[in-house]
Amino acid sequence: MRRTKNLFIFLFLSYSTIAQQQQASLSDNDYLLRYKKAVQLYADQKYFEAKEILLPLTGKKYTNTVSPYVHYYYALSAFKLNKFYDARTTLKQLFERFPDWRKMEDATYLYANIAFAENKPDEALQYLNRIASKAWRADIENMQYTYLSKIKELSQLKNLYQKSPDNPVLAQLIVDNIQNSKNASRADLELSDQLTNQFNLGGDASGKSKKNKSKENDNIINVAVMLPFRLFEFDPNRTTRANQYVYDMFAGMKLAQEKLASEQINLNLYAFDIERDVKHTNNIVTNRAFDKVDLIIGPLYPEVNKVTTSFIKSSDAIQVHPLSNNLQLVSNEKSVFLASPSYEAQAAKALEYITNEKSARSVAIYYGSTRKDSTFAYIYRDKALEKGINVLAIKKYNGSEDIDVKRKPDHIFISGSEQNLGAKIISSLDKKRINAPIVAASAAFDFEGASLNVFNRDLYLIQLDYMDREKEEVKNFRSAYINSQNITPSYYSYWGYDMVLFYGRMLKSGPNKLRNNLDSIEYTQGYTLDGFDYTGKSNENKIVPIIRYQDGKFIEVAR
């Protein structure tokens, strides 16, 4: 009997050793291929099959850059199958093994979702509190409303609030519960008043103050344009200024104001010279007259943006960032928008196009010397990995020696803001006989000075300022602008015109109808540029023009 037991132990240990050896023998390339297959299965909603492939890839032997993604997608698949224990256990393993993973907040958000699904609101709220990024605020509040609104017992809501006294969702649910109760005690009514004042809830679920509700009866749209006009430096004799784009944009806005008037939409434009002076900005927004503002365009700098964002929280006004591509600016407030697509949206659209058109499954990424260059490059990398695309290289480009020739990619991505960077990288690629399709930010190319040979290849440019000069709207605007300003319009003139025209139309029926208007359709007709798309509850314009050089001219191939 003892020999049989020893034999069993020996066989078990031998089997475990063999299994570990087999697992350890999996090459990085095979590991990546299995991961890609699992991600595709997940995308096809075949969660069980995806989970089966991912399970052995979560072993402790694997510590490559794809491993945390494996854990995350395994947990997602398990969650979709209602295997909450498996999902939670795998996420805890992810937290322990890869604490510095760039997407840790995604995993934390998923864990909280699992805890809510398991009817563990205490634990869910604890994990949501770990998410520091403001970009998650809207999603977090939506999740909390979804699950916490199912709690009907006031005592349970109070207990949760005691542990999370800064939670506005819990505060609102407590107020709603008390106000809807026919037998609310005096203490509960006092609590309702206290929370209403503390969180500026306005006494009902809409969270709007009486001051703001009165604006619904005002048919005039008041727009505050808070940009760095630098009036003290203004010299009318100078034909070029560092901030000329601001004046061009505002001139376009004034023409949009006239166009809206012809459509029976009354809109006022108020220009404020805002650069980095926080005190000056605060004095403006705290003026009682500023309470009538419906739309703020700008400001451009983070110091003063905090002031305007604080104002937005206590009003029905909306804020539009005219030039920024930073997704974090809009994700923390439902009333803040990006007029241009974020780097995330640009990367996603470019990857969607290149994978569909060229079946690209790998990429090499090269970027320039600025912070924006590296930011866009690494966002592109993250989006590529999410799609299961193999990232062969991601490097700052200093010269030909940075071009990786060990493995030839299915496509190249170039992120740059220096006009000669794109041509330099293409020259290096040609010398090393790498002929893969190229996706690039248009800012990396000199459209005026570069040889057409640079563009006459399999090159796709993300060009947010693309303009079809044959459009009737473009021709009409150009003529009107020249008549008004005695100069030809710049891109910023068109952009200022389109922005005010679009948001004026969206706000025509009042701020309460704004979200419905944005979600209804893509607005691509009637604008000089490509238009606006905020469908799907988006707070950023999802239109991403992608162009290429063909038959002697640049044409738009996707947006």
Q: Which residues of 15-33 are buried (b: 16+ CB within 10 A; e: fewer)?
A: eeeeeeeeeeebeeeebbe
Question: What is the arithmetic mean of pLDDT over 302-309?
Answer: 92
Band of the pLDDT at 2, cuts 50, 70, 90?
Answer: very low
Closest CA to 247 of 260, 224, 228: 228
Instruction: Give the helix ranges, DSSP H, for 314-401.
Output: 343-358, 371-386
pLDDT at 262 exceeding the cut of 60: yes
Q: What is the pLDDT of residue 164?
A: 86
Residue 244: is its pLDDT beyond 60? Answer: yes
Q: Could you report the per-residue pLDDT of 318-339, keeping only the tens digit for each? A: 999 999 999 999 987 799 999 9
Q: ∠ CA 242-244-247 to the nearest 5 degrees?
A: 145
Alpha-carbon distance of 508 to 517, in angstroms, equals 10
* Per-residue b or e along 247-268, where b marks 16 or more CB atoms closer than 10 Å to that residue's CB: bbbbbbbbbbbebbeeeebebe
What is the pLDDT, as a whole number, of residue 233? 65
Q: pTM for this structure?
A: 0.62
* Predicted confidence (pLDDT) per residue in 432-486, tens digit: 999 999 999 999 999 888 888 899 899 999 999 999 999 999 999 999 999 988 8
Q: Check residue 235 and give its pLDDT.
A: 56
Cβ neighbours for 400, distance < 8 A, ≥ 6 positions apart: 428, 431, 432
Mean pLDDT in residue range 104-118: 94
Helices (runs of H) and strands (runs of E) counted in the chain: 22, 12
Helix (H, G, I), strand (E, B) or coil at 319: strand
Top mean-pLDDT range of 1-5, 41-45, 483-487, 533-537: 533-537
End-to-end Cα spacing for the chain = 73
- State pLDDT tens for residues 121-160: 999 999 999 998 877 877 888 889 888 988 989 999 989 9
Residue 6: what pLDDT?
44
Q: Of all helices (H) and strands (E), which one includes residue 151?
A: none
When pLDDT is averaged across residues 2-9 and rounded to a whole number, the result is 40
For residue range 185-240, what is the model confidence (pLDDT) as tens digits?
887 888 887 788 777 775 444 333 334 444 444 588 999 999 998 876 655 555 56
Contact call for residues 235 and 220 (beta carbons, < 8 A): no
Measure the CA angle with vertex 102, ends 100 and 106; round to 5°.
110
Residue 443: per-residue pLDDT: 95
The band of 5, judged by pLDDT with boundaries at 50, 70 and 90, is very low
Q: Decide the pairing of beta strands 553-558 and 546-550.
A: antiparallel
Question: In the structure encoding, which two tokens stand for residue 234, read together?
Answer: 């203004």
Rounded-to-integer distance, Cα 324 and Cα 340, Å = 7
Please, which residues have CB within 8 angstroms of residue 384's CB and are 6 or more apart in sequence? 347, 351, 363, 391
* pLDDT score for 8: 38
**Chain centroid offset of residue 423 CA:** 29
Q: What is the pLDDT of residue 237?
A: 55
CB neighbours of residue 43 within 10 Å: 11
pLDDT of 236 reads 53
Instruction: Give the tokens for residue 468.
Output: 């079809």
Say how far apart CA 164 and CA 168 lie, in whole Å. Answer: 9
Handedness of CA 150, 156, 157, 163 (dihedral sign): negative
- Find, among 138, 118, 116, 142, the residue nearest to 127 by Cα: 116
| % residues pLDDT > 70 (the chain) | 91
What is the number of alpha carbons within 13 Å of residue 148 lying toward its C-beta? Answer: 31
pLDDT at 452: 86
> Once rounded to an integer, what is the mean pLDDT over residues 511-536?
92
Q: Tell me the three state secondary structure of residue 532.
A: strand
533-539 LR contacts (CB < 8 Å, sep 24+): 534/337, 539/138, 539/330, 539/331, 539/334, 539/336, 539/337, 539/338
Share the mean pLDDT of the chain.
87
Q: Which two tokens stand for residue 302?
A: 């983070």
**Secondary structure of the chain: what % helix, strand, coil (to 5)?**
55, 10, 35
In this predicted structure, the answer to whether residue 15 has a pLDDT above a threshold of 60 is no
Q: Are 397 and 370 in contact (CB under 8 A)?
A: no
Q: How far is CA 222 from CA 208, 257, 282, 287, 516, in A?
A: 19, 11, 18, 15, 20
- pLDDT of 407 reads 87
